[in-house]
Structure 1
């Protein structure tokens, strides 16, 4: 079974600003994730400890002499939603992850709320058709 990977809207704009080499490495890892889904483990994916969400993960890769991490979570629709990312070089590990997790948790909360609203709208539409 192939899994889906999508970009959270704000991250998509941020991603577009990254150097091509970083984007290429990301896409290679994302393809691996699409093939293996939640079973993907290290060195490609690891759990982000400290998140409010137990399913919050990080996609891990190296590009341009930096260690890159992209926070993501598999949502209820079985889509790996890429939320936020960045390079770790030049920043303390603690500071990097604190910022990454804070932003990822906030974006994932908004993503889940949007899914909930879409589901509610679908149910209301079904009710009107009866």
Structure 2
């Protein structure tokens, strides 16, 4: 039997503003002083690829702007490398 991982809000949510509809944000539990976030996506082989991780506390909007841009770039590079194989 095949089980599918199902994590939803508030732990995982879709990222708006990404070039990839499958870009997600993981919100692991963190201390009150930090707001750790991890951006990831599933590639065509159904492997989760963690693209960016960081603490966004004190820089809520700026962190997303930079992180989404970097995650999109890294995911595009990953997909291109998969195509070359």
- Picking from 73, 77, 80, the partner of 1:106 is 73
- The structure richer in helix per residue is 1
> Hey, which bits of structure 1, 4+ residues long, moved more than 6 A?
none
Q: CA deviation at 1:84?
A: 0.6
Q: CA deviation at 1:40?
A: 2.1
Larger RCO of the pair (alpha carbons < 8 Å, separation 6+): 1
Q: CA deviation at 1:67?
A: 1.1
- Does residue 57 (structure 1) correspond to residue 24 (structure 2)? The answer is yes
Give 1:87's aligned residue.
55
CA RMSD, 1 decimal: 1.4
Distance in structure 2 (CA, Å) of the matches to 1:43 and 1:59: 9
TM-score of the aligned structures, taking structure 2 as reference length = 0.89
Q: Work out which of the two has the higher radius of gyration on C-alpha atoms and give 1 or 2.
A: 1
TM-score of the aligned structures, taking structure 1 as reference length = 0.60
Structure 2 unaligned spans of 5+: none
Distance in structure 2 (CA, Å) of the matches to 1:72 and 1:58: 6
